[in-house]
Structure 1
């Protein structure tokens, strides 16, 4: 399936339903500067959730946590205050993936659905993918402690695959703007900051229907000024317990 064919597929009625389906899985993770009258979001990333054989866990990019704003700011996942730094289960792999413990009840309160381990798939060279997350430049404040995050996604093709990471190449700026206009974003040129930690979906058309698998986590290494590229860490680095390790032995 070519990029243009995939774009056409994703902008029809089934494609729009499919995109809204993605919202079931992702949540903003953000740092809140609390004041006397209102709170200000200082920075945000994106996270999603997984279910292993015996526990649930959340997933985001490690740099979302390690590059936190200065000061001891509370962290919110969706509408829940949650210091994920105290829930770290990812280990010390050095990869740009951070996992944290979370209960099924907390995921339910967020109104989200966790991925199952059967939802993971390898990153295939030339495959069509959609990274999904919450760009910080589309963030707006609704009230003292209410923040509206606009979830969005790009679409592109995997142009390189390494042991642990892969690279996505996007269409031209004009094509992306036209595409985004079709899906209701008024042609805004989204900035990737804030999408870090979000899932990367592999999208395929099978027997006239769209299907998706989780192939990675949005990581550092964006080049939207000249190369229109995004780097992601492959989902194969995440174990069923939530521990993160180099994927020298692929599970797929």
Structure 2
């Protein structure tokens, strides 16, 4: 029986761009280019490695987002994933992590899965809670923040590295896992992979397809909200210290004043 691997990925604003809030205090996605979250590239890479070491496996990437989120799926497909699912619906605008976990859970169940792979966090929200929420909704074990992993005999095993110790963890499939940026460098799509990705299937779904009411997601259904936001002040000129024998003291005083030391 084929090992069904589902990778949850996110289309995020480019961190190098000028990110800002829209009038409704959601991320203004029209103001900056987007791309596949870098931390999710590690999840795609680990899923592909698991598939390559399995006798028979299929990798499906799933995303929830606007029309442009299709670019994130195509990037994952060009890396080597087999197919993709894109959940797009106008009523999803403003959905928080709780609502996103609901939509992803329904999409993952729609696809069918043995193993769900996520990145450790998104590079825009940086909450890191979605894998746990997803596992709870699916009713399966979670093994999160893995820097090394393997799948064999119906079990996923991995190592979680902490500040003072490392843990060896395992769970029976089906399960949800997340991987860190220490799990292995993501492969760069080849020209052949990019061309092949154009022919790979991308299934489009909306809330009706997944049996989700609009009131459960979007700004109306969000459990969290941004109440106020202020633009970052423009960068000011730095303080120049002229060293005439007291430069070290002046530098130390400046660092202490900024509470760096």
Specify the TM-score bucket, using the shorter chain as the normaliser. Answer: under 0.3
More helix by share: 2
Q: TM-score when scaled to structure 2?
A: 0.24
* Structure with bigger gyration radius: 2
